[in-house]
Structures are given as C-alpha cells and as structure tokens.
Chains A and B, each alone.
Chain A
Amino acid sequence: MLAWTIYISFLGVLVLMLLPKGNAALARKVALLTAFAGLGIAIAGFVQYKSAIAVPGAEKIVSVTDADWIPSLGIKYHLAADGVSLTLVLLTGLAAVAGILFSWNIEHRAKEFFAFYLALIGGVYGVFLSFDLFLLFVFYEIAIVPKYFIIAIWGSTRREYGAMKLALYSFVGSAMVLVGLIGAYVVSGAHSFGLAELAKYSYPPHFQMWAFPVVFIGFAILAGMWPFHTWAPTGHVAAPTAASMLLAGVVMKLGAYGCLRVAMTLFPDGLLAWRDCFAILAIIGIIYGAMVALVQKDFKFVIGYSSVSHMGFVLLGLMTLNAIGLSGAVLQMFSHGVIAGLLFAVVGRMVYDRTHTRDLDDLQGMRLSKVIPFAAVTFVIASIASMGLPGFSGFAAEFQVLIGAWRAFPTLAVLTGIGILIGIAYTLRVLQKAFYGDGEECPADHEKPNGGEHADSEIGAPCPPISVPERLGAVLLIGVSLLIGLFPRLLLDVIIPSFDSPLFDWLRRTR
C-alpha cells in the first residue's frame, strides 16, 4: 500500500499535465487532493507498521513490493520500509500538503508548477521507500530536475543562479554516490543492488577508506554539510515558498537519509575511521550556520542559514553511533522538516508576498505584528520551536542528539552548546526586527515581483489578510510540532526498534 504514495504523486503529475491551460483553481485542487491522498497513505502505513512491530520478535523491515527489474544486473524493484523511512515518509506527506496550502496564490503557470511539485514529491517518497540501491539512486536523481524548474521559473532573487547551483551541487553529489555504488557492487560481487545483500558483505578496509567518504559526502552535500552547504542558502532564498519548504523540509533530509541508509550501512569500517572528521564538520556547520544567520540582512537568508545549522545536529547525531544519538538525528530530521517549513512559510508567503521585501531593515519600519498579527504569532511559535524550547519537537530531538554526542564526544558536545546559544540570539534578533519594529510605515508600497494576478488585484490594499489555506497550513505544522514535542514516543517507538534490524548490525559492531 505504501508504494501508492509514489504512484499517486506521479499520477497527479499526469492528471495535471492533461488539465486545460489556465485553470489554476482546478490545478491546485488536484494537487492538494493528491498530496492529501499521499499523506493519508503515509499515516495509514505508519499506524499499521507501529502495530505490527508491537508484537515481540516481529520483522522490523516490512517489504512493500519486491520484483525483478533488470535481472541481468541483479537489479530489483524493491520497495520496503522500516521505522526510519516511515518517519520520513510521514514528513514528506506533511510537507507536501503544507507546501500546497502555502502556494495557494500561485497563478502564473499554475498547472506546471504543481506538476513539477508533485514529481519532486514522488521522487522523494521513492527514495525513502527504496531498499534496492539502484532504485534509490533513480529516485534520488528524479528529484533533482523538478527542483531546478520550480526555482528557475517561479523563484525570486537570482533565481536562475540559485536553481543552477542547486542542480549542479545535487548532480555532483549523486555522481559521487554513483561511483561508490558501482564500486560496492563490483567489489562485493554480490550481483545485486539490494541494500541487505550489499550490507552483508564486509568490504576490504582500503576500499572502505575511500568509498565511505565519497558516498557520504555525495549525500551530505544535499544534507547541507559544511563546507558543501553553499547551495542551501542561495537555493532557499531563490525558491518560491513551497519549494523552500520542500528543500528545507524534505530534500535536505534525502541527503541525511542517504548518509545513514547507504554510506554508514555499507561501509562501517570507513565510518569508524572518518567519524571524528565528519563530527567536527557537523559542529562547524552548527556554529558557522548560526553565526552567519546572526548577521544576515535578508529575512530568508536567516532561515536558510539556520537550516544549515539545524542540519548540523542531524549529522552530529548520525556520527554519535549510539542508539539515542541516532534516534535523535532521525527525530531532528522530522522536527526540522516541520519547523523550517513553517518558518519559510511565514517569510516567503505571509510576509514577502504581502510586503514584497525581505530586507530586515525595511521590515523593521513596518510593524508587521500590528498589520498581520497572525503571521507574527505563527512566527513567534515557530521561533520558540526552532530555538528548542521544551514542548516542541525541536527540543526532544536536539536534546537526544546532545545526550548522544555527550557520550560519544564530550568535548565537542560543549561546543554544540555555543551553537544553540547563538541560535537563540539570531532567532530573537530576526523576530524583533521583522515583526516588532518601531516604524509606522505601511507595507505594500514596494514594487511587485513577477507574481500572479492575485498580487496585482491587491494593489491599493495595504495588506491582504492572512487567507484560510495559510491558516490551515500554519495550524497543521504547529500542531504536529507540538504533538511530537509533547509525545516524542509517537515517533521514537518506531524509530528505536528499527535499529534492531540486520541493517543496523554496524551499530552494534562499532559500539
């Protein structure tokens, strides 16, 4: 059943392509329906899995589809899921729905926009569900192209540059992954690309020594690991709101997921050798991202760099190599997906589409908390979640990562604290500047971007009120973050048992 998350997304693409031109309302309804269907399937699959593994001794990996695809190379069409992938599938469903709710005002070539959007979502679902590495790679690359077009066509600041940079970074990353995969396939001699089959083989150490960093960095580029993160801020800023939400929400998770599922699973010896190195890079990412976010003038760049910082926690969690750190990393992927989505929605949709500026100094003069109080309240809540206050998902996740890191690298864990402190500083700074400035100037006097008719029809009105889809989307994301913050066990109960499966043998071996 879970496989239908993929199929239904691509089906949605087909339907959208066949729709008549110019009917934006119909296009977005079709897209929303598709995304909801995907989310529904994801939730159902999640609940089913949860009850299935409650039985002691149950299989931790549920196979969804397993068929021969290219027998001469031993490639299979193998879709399966465990707790880690299901958590991320759930996140993808949520981000997809929220993204569409926040792009309800797209009128310019709306049909194509949602077609590319759903193609991206379909590819992402595919990556999370593939247990054959060839298949995983196929979906991974399918997700590259729609990103380019969404940003290049519907984006804002330096959109073509940002889009091309993102596409090339992704493609270079996936090229590195390809080299590693072919190497593993040939060296293991397993005549299979199945994850389990390849993971079973113990590769010679000198091969792992280069294969691990190649594959890990290949994926980590997309996860925004410092110093390969530079696509992230420019890409996020250039992208339209929905795309920023997806980029930060799920695409960066693709990279982190690949690191965990492929690089770390296949090459445990390489992992042990390179572990400290990547842990240090992760911490540099946390601190560097936070410090750069502190001095940005553009509202969206702040959020963009904060994503780099938060993804540093994910990578640090992965490098702890203990169950608590790893589960924290997965939880952080989920939590950051929700919170970053919310932040980008406020910046891109609620603020930028109304004021047409993201310059913090300009915004400071507008007193947005009076003009659009809903946006201000949403942003306050999102900031609290992002800073990691208890009660929200960010706290549960980062707390676990920190405990894990404390066990693994006590010295480095202290440095992480600095990152968290700076995180609070930049969040409060941007909150104050953007919403609680002291000016009286009315927004909407700035020039319009190449937005749709919607924006044009609002000329003269000081500020259109927050629309219903925006409210729904904000409530959805805040609700999820609160829910996971209060009951992290909802997710942890499926994530932690997954570590018992044979795929995580390396976790026990490296301990």
Chain B
Amino acid sequence: MNYLDLFKLAVPETIVVLTALAVLAIDVVTLRGLETRFRFIVAGMIACVGSFGAIAWMLISHPNANVFGGMFVVDPTTQFVKIALLALTIFTILLSMDSDFTDHVGEYLALILLGAVGMMFLVSAEDLLMVFIALELTSLSLYILAAFNKRDIKSAEASLKYFLFGGMSAAFTLFGLSLVYGLSGTTNLPEIAAALAGKGLDPLLVVAIVMVVIGFGFKVAAVPFHLWAPDAYQGAPTPSAAFIASGSKVASFFIFAKIMAIGFAGKEIQGSGAWHDYAAGWVPVVAIVAALSMILGNLVAIVQTSVRRLIAYSAIAHAGYMLIAVLAHNQQSLASLIYYAVTYGITTIGAFGVVAVVEQGEGGEKLSDFAGLSRRAPLVSFCMLIFMLSLAGIPPLARFFGKFYVFTAAVNAGAPNLGLLWLVILAVATSAISLFYYLQVLKQIYVQEGPPEPLKVPVITQVVLVLLAALVVLFGCAPNLLLGWL
C-alpha cells in the first residue's frame, strides 16, 4: 500500500478538506469588506460545489478496500453514508446562506466542512484510534459552530454546555476504549471481537461496555445523557443546530452500531450473530437506554413551548427508536438504521429551516410565533406540515417507512420467540404519544389565527425547504431509491 493508493481512496475527504481551505482563503483574501449576505452566497456556493465534487467522485468510483488493518475502510455502505452526510452538509450550507448572525463567513463554512470531514472519517473507521480521532475532529468543529453567534449569550451557553458534556463523554469513551484495548490487546474491531469471544463476562469488560455506551449515548443524545441537547438546539445558530441534529447524528449512529456489532459481536466474528449472541452485557444496557429515551423524550416534548426544544426532545425520542435498530442487528437492521438516520436528518434540517424563517420574521420560536403561519407563508407551512407528519411517522412520508423498517427488523431479530417485541411495543406506543405534540405545532400553523401580513421568506431557504420536503415525500413513497444502495 503506497500513499498514492491511499490518496485515491481518500479523494472525497481530500476534496472536502481542500474546499474548506479554499473557502477560508477566498473569503479572507477577496470577499472581506463586502456585504455579509453576498459573502455567504459566494463562499457557500464554493463549499457546495466542493461537496458535490466529492459526491460525484464517490458516485463514479466504487473502491472496496481496507487499509492498515481497519484504519480506513471503504465499501459501498460507507460510501452511501458519506454521500448522505455530504448531502446533509450541502443542505446545511444552503440554509446558512440567508443568515446574518456572523461576519466570519469563511470560518463558519470551513468549520462545517471540517466537521463533515470528521464524520466521513468516522464512517470509514474500523479501528478504535481512528474512531476517536475522527470523533474529536467532528466534535471540536461542532462545539465552535454552536458558539458562532457571538452576539447572543444563549449561543455561548449552548456551546459551553455542549462542550462540557462532550468533553466528559469523550473521556468516558476513551476510558472505555482503553479498557477494551487492555482486554483484547488490539484496536482493530474484528480482532477485538475475536479476542473477546468465548471469554464470558469479565467485570472489566462490563465497565468497558458501559463506558462506551455512555460516550456514544452522549453523542446521540440518548437518555440519561441527553441534557445538553435541548439547550444546544435552542441556543445554537439554526444551521449549526440543524447540522448537530442531522449529520452528526447519522455519523454517530453508524459508528456506534459498527462498534457494537463488530467489536462486541460475541460468539461470532464479523458481527453476523443474532442479537442474543452478542457479548453479554451490552444488550440490556442499550435496551434500557433506548426505552428511557423513547419514554422521556416523548413525554417531555409534550410540555415544550419552544419549537426548538420540542424538536430536541423529539430527537431524543428518535434516538431511542434508532437504538432499537442498533440492538436488533441482523441483515436488515443496519440498512434500517441508515435509512432511518438519513431520512431523519433530512426531515430535521427542514424543520430547522422553517424555524429559522419564523425566527427571522417574528423574532422568536415559541409555539405562538407560528400562529396562523399557513395564511402568511403557505408554501413554508406546507413544508412544515410534511416535516412534522414525517417525524410523527405518518405514511407515505419517509420517517414512516423508517419506523416500520426498524420495527420489522427488531421483531425479526428475535424471531421466532419475538425477543425484542416488548421494546417495539413500547416504541409504537410512545410514537402514538408523539403525534400529540407534532399536531400542537401544526395546530398553531393551520388552525390558530395570527397576524395577517405575509411573512417574508428568503428565496434560497424556500427552494431548499421545498427540495427537502420533496425528498421526504419521495423517499417515503419509494424507499427503494435508498434501500437499493444498502
């Protein structure tokens, strides 16, 4: 393996890094002093073109490689997740183009791109060291992105909370990973599984598993490690919050599933075992975290008056649903997890986009600020209708099929004695609760009367929202468009 081959495999990542640097340089050298909006559009376009380039490269080349013993793994699944991540990045960038919260345009966009690079490496890692490095690259970019609105003290609060919790969870993760290394003598995931197989439940291994679950539980905002999420979602600038809620979530879930499924595979190596063959210990831990997330997320969301916090608690609930897919672990469950995470990401970015529109027009994002929106901005309202119903899991929208697929995979995992059925029943029950608060938002928009004058909606945002809504409908009506890849 020479460096040219490695470079060829890592072309998409390289393109994105170079784009980040280019955006930074061009903004500093040529655009400084111009109007912020103009700078956002020019720099944003460059960033989008770079991301498109990386996507295009992945679409035409189909490498299949495992470099340096799992340091960098490229296969169709990772390529698909990376394409999805870049698409989410592009949508985030497009949504940020109409914003005016910062003068540091180049830095902001470059950080988004660097965060995306971290996520891409994370997806490709099958080695604990690479996992940790990529995780830190992503996290550090996201901390700064959350703090980017320097004029708003809430943004600083959001970032500080996110950072403190994040730093702590990184410590937990690292501690857990080091124990795993101590137990197995390797950092490569399949080798770890081989080393741990058949050893039984070492108390040290239990500690290691719990530490890893805590670390990732924080990343995916699962109860009881969710406390940062509502504040971060509320205080961070909208595009940052959207990125944290979508891209970061997709990548974290993917790597979490990978570590659990490959690293702690238990009896069978390479993660081909059924769920009860896993290294004993982690199934109950994750199951409890999933159940708590679904219950608490959905119940607390009911009483929220801030739409951002509502989305945050719903995100916690959704993390619970996705953890079910992590638990199920059969041929279907990884596909269902990716489908769920990607469509969830698309929907959430859209929802944040609508929140941004209302915030710019009304100066707030309380539920009451949405009153009568359907008469003030019909198109945006219709998009929000689609996003909210998708989150609630109403067919034929994307999240319905995601939910359905995850549940089917989970029940299938326990067949014929339906071992995970209790978790699925809990999930179905809590998702019935969730309709209530999503309808609260829609009630404000469609039923309540608001101020009569029309709301100004920036053109780019409107186009992006319509595009996202169309994707939600499309992937819901034809899930095969995504499933065909997996």
**Which residues of A are interface residues toward B (Cβ below 8 A)?**
17, 69-73, 112, 134, 137-138, 141-142, 144-145, 148-149, 152-153, 160, 164, 167-168, 171-172, 175-176, 178-179, 182-183, 185-187, 189
Contact = CB atoms under 8 A, between A and B. Distances in A.
Contact of A160 (B401, B405, B447): B447
B400 interface: yes
Interface in B386-416: 389, 394-396, 400-401, 404-405, 407-408, 411-412, 415-416
Nearest to A173: B432
A182 B400 contact: no
Interface string B210-253: 00000000000000000000000000000000000000000000
A154 to B, nearest CB: 10
A46 B411 CA distance: 40
14 contacts: A70-B479, A70-B483, A72-B480, A72-B483, A112-B374, A138-B396, A149-B442, A149-B446, A152-B443, A168-B435, A178-B404, A179-B428, A186-B415, A186-B418
Main secondary structure of the interface of B (DSSP, over half): helix
Nearest to B382: A17
A172 B436 CA distance: 11
Contact of A153 (B394, B401, B446): B446
B67 interface: no
Given A144-B394, A152-B447, 12 more contacts: A69-B480, A70-B401, A149-B442, A172-B429, A175-B431, A178-B404, A178-B428, A182-B411, A183-B418, A185-B408, A185-B411, A186-B415
Ranked nearest first, the 8 interchain pairs of A and B with the lowest CB-CB distance are: A138-B395, A175-B432, A175-B428, A152-B447, A186-B411, A172-B432, A171-B435, A171-B432
A138 B479 CA distance: 14
A393 B446 CA distance: 39
B9 interface: no
B425 interface: yes
A164 B435 CA distance: 10
Interface residues of B, number: 35
B424 interface: yes
Contacts of B429: 172, 175
Nearest to B449: A450
A187 B447 contact: no
A149 B447 CA distance: 7
Contacts of A69: 480
A176 B432 CA distance: 10
B421 interface: yes
Contacts of B446: 149, 152-153
B439 interface: yes
A189 B480 CA distance: 21
Nearest to A207: B418
Contacts of B407: 178, 182
B395 A186 contact: no
Interface string B439-462: 100110011000000000000000
A274 to B, nearest CB: 19
A178 B406 CA distance: 12
Nearest to A21: B378
A148 B425 CA distance: 25
Given A70-B480, A175-B431, A186 B408 contact: yes
Which interface residue of B382, B395, B400, B429 has the most chain A CB atoms within 10 A?
B395
